[in-house]
């Protein structure tokens, strides 16, 4: 009988221990679940605050002091040098645009149709670059003078003749003007290479297209390969208003 009582007591003790362990395990699980729910709730509040444009409070982080306005390049002298070249480039690009339109409108001769379209294409390109270089000058802190009287007074390119122009005349006139512009632009690029590499890169972009356009014009009247002899059809037309 005593043995049965001892066995019963041991069983009761084991059940009590098991019950206590289960209760402790359940409490730990409940605590972990509460912590998880609290974390989810905080994440939801944070997302809602950000969606409302509030974000997380930054009251402990004061705003930095006002940043002073600044312009590109190291000195005013560098900016002035670039601005001078850019202003002249804007003026000459505007003149090139007008020269190509003058040739585009008044062209006549057997090459009318292809040259008419080519001159319009090149004119559009120079108009685009005019805006690029004008805005570069503005970004350096200087205004741009693109008035017609300024273009007429300061352009380095000679005037186009008035009236109708033969296809041969227009080619030689534009070749001469574009060659002047090409040389001046290479000079401007070299002047700003060290002090203003961004502007120099824009000059490189422009010169790539200028070199290409000049080749497209020259190939109509000159033999390829840099020898410079007139092609037979151009030589047969004799001297014209270009003096060539």
93-152 pLDDT, tens per residue? 999 999 999 999 999 999 999 999 999 999 999 999 999 999 999 999 999 999 999 999
Are residues 3 and 114 part of one domain?
no
Are residues 83 and 47 part of one domain?
no
Residues in a beta bridge with 230: 222
Q: Is residue 174 part of a domain?
A: yes
Q: Is residue 203 part of a domain?
A: yes
* Secondary structure of residue 222 in the 3-state scheme: strand
Domain that holds residue 209: 76-236
Label residue 194 by pLDDT band (50, 70, 90). Answer: very high
Are residues 83 and 46 part of one domain?
no
Q: What pLDDT score was predicted for residue 91?
A: 98
State yes or no: pLDDT of 242 exceeds 90: no
Label residue 234 by pLDDT band (50, 70, 90). Answer: low
Are residues 182 and 96 part of one domain?
yes
Are residues 116 and 156 part of one domain?
yes
Structure tokens at 25: 């395990």
Angstrom distance (rounded) from CA 192 to CA 38: 62
User: Considering only CA atoms, which of 163, 158, 172, 159 is closest in space to residue 108?
Assistant: 163
Averaged pLDDT for residues 182-199:
96
Are residues 95 and 208 part of one domain?
yes
Q: Is residue 58 part of a domain?
A: no
Are residues 127 and 19 part of one domain?
no
Q: What pLDDT score was predicted for residue 129?
A: 98
Query: pTM surpassing 0.75?
Result: no
Using the Cα atoms of residue 49, residue 53, residue 58 and residue 59 in order, give the sign of their dihedral: negative
Angstrom distance (rounded) from CA 163 to CA 147: 24
Higher per-residue pLDDT: 37 or 126: 126
Q: Is residue 66 part of a domain?
A: no
Give me the residue label for tokens 């020898």.
Answer: 227
Using the Cα atoms of residue 84, residue 87, residue 89 and residue 95 in order, give the sign of their dihedral: negative
Are residues 220 and 148 part of one domain?
yes
Taking a C-beta distance cutoff of 8 angstroms, is the pair 107, 116 a contact?
yes
Are residues 211 and 166 part of one domain?
yes
Distances (CA, A) of 117 to 104, 113, 122, 125, 232: 8, 6, 9, 13, 23
């Amino acid at each position: 009988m005593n043995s049965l009582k001892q066995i019963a007591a041991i069983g009761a003790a084991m059940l009590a221990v098991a019950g206590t362990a289960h209760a402790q395990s359940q409490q730990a699980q409940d605590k972990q679940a509460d912590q998880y729910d609290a974390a989810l709730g905080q994440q939801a509040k944070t997302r809602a605050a950000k969606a409302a444009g509030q974000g997380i409070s930054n009251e402990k982080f004061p705003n930095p002091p006002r940043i002073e306005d600044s312009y590109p390049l190291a000195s005013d002298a560098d900016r002035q040098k670039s601005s001078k070249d850019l202003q002249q480039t804007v003026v000459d690009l505007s003149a090139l645009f007008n020269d190509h339109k003058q040739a585009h409108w008044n062209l006549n001769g057997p090459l009318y149709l292809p040259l008419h379209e080519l001159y319009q294409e090149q004119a559009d390109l120079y108009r685009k670059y005019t805006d690029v270089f004008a805005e570069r000058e503005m970004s350096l802190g200087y205004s741009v003078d693109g008035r017609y009287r300024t273009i007429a007074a300061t352009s380095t390119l000679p005037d186009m003749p008035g009236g109708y122009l033969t296809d041969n005349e227009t080619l030689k006139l534009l070749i001469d003007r574009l060659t002047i512009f090409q040389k001046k632009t290479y000079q401007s690029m070299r002047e700003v290479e060290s002090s203003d590499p961004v502007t120099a890169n824009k000059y490189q972009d422009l010169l790539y297209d200028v070199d290409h356009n000049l080749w497209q014009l020259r190939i109509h009247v000159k033999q390829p390969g840099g020898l410079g002899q007139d092609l037979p059809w151009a030589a047969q037309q004799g001297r014209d208003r270009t003096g060539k």
